[in-house]
Amino acid sequence: MVTPPALIESRLRIEDAVIDQVVLSGDGWLHQVASGQHLRILDLEGNQAVDTLFYSVADPSERYDACRTMRAQHQLYLGQGSQLVSSEGRPMLTITADTCGRHDTVGGACSCESNQVRYSLDKRFMHSCRETFLLELGRSSSGLEKRDLTHNINFFMNVPVSPAGGLHFADGISAPGRYVEMRAEMDVWVLISNCPQLNNPCNGWNPTPVRLLVWDGQG
For the chain of 219 residues, list the mean pLDDT of each consecutive stretch of 10.
Answer: 67 96 96 98 94 96 96 89 96 97 85 57 66 92 92 87 69 88 98 85 86 87
What pLDDT is recorded for position 164?
A: 72
Q: How far apart are CA 97 and CA 182, in angstroms?
A: 7
Contacts of 124 (CB under 8 A, 6+ apart): 112, 113, 115, 116
Q: How far apart are CA 110 and CA 128, in angstroms?
A: 6
Mind giving me the DSSP string for 79-134? -TTPEEEBTTS-EEEEEEEESS--EESSS----HHHHHHHT-GGGTTS--HHHHHH
CA dihedral (69, 71, 72, 77) in degrees, to 10, reads 60
What pLDDT is recorded for position 134?
A: 93
Using the 8-state DSSP alphabet, how is residue 17 labeled? -
What pLDDT is recorded for position 116?
A: 57
What pLDDT is recorded for position 112?
A: 57
Using the 8-state DSSP alphabet, how is residue 206 labeled? S
What pLDDT is recorded for position 127?
A: 66
What pLDDT is recorded for position 126?
A: 62
What pLDDT is recorded for position 2?
A: 45
What pLDDT is recorded for position 89?
A: 97
This prediction has a pTM of: 0.89
Q: How far apart are CA 148 and CA 127, in angstroms?
A: 20
